[in-house]
Amino acid sequence: MDPPTEIANDVAPAKNDVAPAKNKTLNAIKAASYSSHARPSLNERILSSMSRRAVAAHPWHDLEIGPGAPTIFNCVVEIPRGSKVKYELDKKSGLIKVDRILYSSVVYPHNYGFIPRTLCEDADPLDVLIIMQEPVLPGCFLRAKAIGLMPMIDQGEKDDKIIAVCADDPEYRHYTDIKELPPHRLAEIRRFFEDYKKNENKEVAVNDFLPAEDASKAIQHSMDLYADYIVEALRR
């Protein structure tokens, strides 16, 4: 079998001004890369994969929220429990980037991320704090169950957080409402968000926690905003 025309042209005999050694090398590549019955060589396959343009899945837009939403939903972890690094979604590329290191001597008390295919008034997906046994790597997604809502004002703007448990963690999946959590756990969560921006001279106010019903309503509202945005974008 003759090699494809475009490849054959690339390895055609050299002009008179090319040294014989170069001709020999090109012919060796041609002979190694193509035979009458062999698959394309490893080199060709690598080069072919490098030349193909592929679009990576975007965790905000391509990951489905799940059939159980707004009660049980998929969410993407940006920041693992115990981290002082503020990772966040880069909305343009879909990658998880390092935004900053927290200025205060605090760490995230639980895994923190966002709910795909939701949209809030600040043009970001809806934030979620996921209570579970183990820290989760940034960029992973898991199923979570909403148990409450933490209303928050960040520098004068609404920035509410969903409080959830991992739906597949045997220690926490039975929780259905935030009032079932120990009061000290809620105090830790509140204090973290009140303090984590203080050394940046940014003011954060945390209001009283709300039950699971309010969390589900907030998720549904953000799902509706996202759907409206998509419809409007398609019309344009």
Q: Which of 112, 150, 117, 161 is nearest to 132 (CA)?
A: 112
Residue among 34, 87, 108, 172 flagged as catalytic: 108
Cα gap 150→74, rounded to integer Å: 19
Beta bridge partners of 224: none
User: Kind and range of the H or E element at 181?
Assistant: none
The pair of three-digit structure tokens given for residue 109, joined into one six-digit string: 């008390």
Cα gap 231→218, rounded to integer Å: 20
Q: Is 34 a catalytic residue?
A: no
Q: Where are the alpha helices (DSSP H) in the chain?
A: 5-10, 20-33, 42-51, 183-195, 212-235
DSSP string for 1-68: -PPPHHHHHHTSPPPTTS-HHHHHHHHHHHHHH--SSPPPPHHHHHHHHHH---PPPPTTTTS---TT
Instruction: State the catalytic residues.
Output: 108
